Amino acid sequence: MAEVRLKSVTKAFGKVVAVKNFSLDIKDGEFIILVGPSGCGKTTTLRTIAGLEEVTSGEIYIGDRLVNDVPPKDRDIAMVFQNYALYPHMDVYRNMSFGLRLRKVPKSDIDRIVKQTAELLGIRELLDRKPKELSGGQRQRVALGRAIVRNPKVFLFDEPLSNLDAKLRIAMRAELLALHQRLKTTTIYVTHDQMEAMTMGDRIVVMNEGVIQQVDTPQNVYDHPINKYVAGFIGSPAMNFVDCVIAKKNGNIYARTKGMSLRIPPDKAKLLENYIDKEAILGIRPEHIQDTQTVKDYEPETTFKASIWVVEPLGSEKIVHIKNEDSDLVARLDPHVTFQPGDTAEFTARMDLAHIFDKETEETIF
């Protein structure tokens, strides 16, 4: 087990900079998630930690050791790949013991460790099968087993669940977490799936275009996104963004669009003094838009009329797409609302939980 520290790591492929000035301290035993759209540099970051890519500049420490020039095999890490990367011509036992055999671990120890790990992962009876005779989930377990037997300081996961079907993915997610709680090995996990990021990480690192956007606990990232990009990336359905103008009337501050005028709570209104009569972006999460038939208790001047566009019943909730003048919004409503497409209804926005972003920089104002 070890801490991992990255100091101003930059990785360029020719003229393309994949990772820019990446600094991060990962605590011993932490489960940290790098999340972002494809091409945001998260896998490249992982590969530099593994030693599969050399950094262009910056420093990487595993434990107290600077590992920039240490080859992958001597970094004491194990990596699990998206496509499993099992050795197709070896059976499960040989796949799992490959690293140990190379490290000249005594045969009896290898046998004990492999069997123990196989037991832990529920693949004991598969040890003499070849990878092609296994299902996707079983292959992923073998890949995990291959990483675990080495008892490394750090686990590196590169989208390990994205080749599995939805149901298995959720089951494996829980298993990975249980495993981490048991082994307490520092884990760096790359995914593009924000659900995985939210549910698994002690902290998540949201990346875009090679740059860290925000590092925080999942809930903090969700509640207090640092900019419009993070706000839109984390959460499903995504946060609603509406172009608005900040207006002042009778001492109150409003976010105004063509068809809405929503009062901003006084404690937050202070932050908007410099934005009066200027454009900004209003961000509201779908669950913060409710219809006034269901929710009776709402702040004054936070309501607006909208027509129903599409209704998606999910059983536990209804995702309703609504339209107010030129603003399209998504609301997450009680499953028992009876709206039909074409209806018009009144909605209220939780302005105390809404966000305002600077139109130019897209940074969060609150």
Partner 1 sequence: MMTKRTGRILSRVLLHTTVIFIAFLWLIPTVGVLVTSFRPAQDVGNSGWWTVFENIFTSARFTLMNYKLVISRLGIGRAFLNSFIITIPSTIIPLVVALFAAYALAWMRFFARPFIFMVMIALLVVPLQLTFIPILYIFNKLSLAGTFPGIWLAHTGYGLPLAIYMLYNFISGLPEEIIDSASIDGASPFYTFLRIVLPLSVPIIASLVIFQFLWVWNDLLVALIYLGGTPDVAPITVQISSLVGSYGQDWELLTAAVFISIIPSILVFFGLQRYFIRGILTGSIKG
How far is C-alpha 128 from the geometric centre of its chain's CA atoms?
Answer: 36
- Please provide the DSSP assignment of 237-252 as one string: SPPEEEEEEEEEETTE
When binding is defined by CB under 8 A, the residue of 14, 71, 251, 342 that contacts partner 1 is 71
Beta-bridge mates of residue 101? none
Is residue 85 a contact point for partner 1 (CB under 8 A)? yes
State the nearest-atom distance from the C-beta of 81 to partner 1, in Å. 4
Residues 92-151 interacting with partner 1 (rule: CB under 8 A)? 98-99, 102-103, 146, 150
Specify the residue, 84 or 275, whose C-beta has the smaller distance to partner 1.
84
Q: Could you tell me the two tokens for 319? A: 């995702």
Name, in order, each residue with C-beta under 8 angstroms of 119's C-beta and a sequence gap of 6 or more.
Answer: none
Binding segment (CB under 8 A) for partner 1, from list 6-14, 70-78, 116-124, 197-205: 70-78
State the nearest-atom distance from the C-beta of 161 to partner 1, in Å. 15
The residue whose two tokens read 């030693």 is 51
State the nearest-atom distance from the C-beta of 173 to partner 1, in Å. 21
Task: Say if strands 203-208 and 31-35 run parallel, antiparallel, or are unpaired.
Answer: parallel
Specify the residue, 73 or 278, whose C-beta has the smaller distance to partner 1.
73
Specify the residue, 50 or 246, whose C-beta has the smaller distance to partner 1.
50
d(CA 39, CA 37): 6
State the nearest-atom distance from the C-beta of 77 to partner 1, in Å. 7
Residues 239-258 interacting with partner 1 (rule: CB under 8 A)? none
d(CA 217, CA 219): 6
The sheet with strand 279-284 has its strands ordered as: 261-264, 252-256, 240-249, 279-284, 355-358
Query: 7-23 burial by CB neighbour count: b if 16+ within 10 A, else e?
Result: bebbbeeeeebbbbebe
Specify the residue, 98 or 366, whose C-beta has the smaller distance to partner 1.
98
Specify the residue, 65 or 350, whose C-beta has the smaller distance to partner 1.
65
Q: Per-residue x/- mask for partner 1, residues 23 to 62, rule CB under 8 A?
A: ---------------------------xxx----------
Q: What is the DSSP letter of 265?
A: P
Total of chain residues touching partner 1, rule CB under 8 A = 24
When binding is defined by CB under 8 A, the residue of 37, 87, 273, 346 that contacts partner 1 is 87
When binding is defined by CB under 8 A, the residue of 1, 8, 73, 276 that contacts partner 1 is 73
Give which of 233, 235, 263 is closest to 248, Cα–Cα.
Answer: 263
Binding site for partner 1 (CB under 8 A): 50-52, 71-73, 77-79, 81-89, 98-99, 102-103, 146, 150
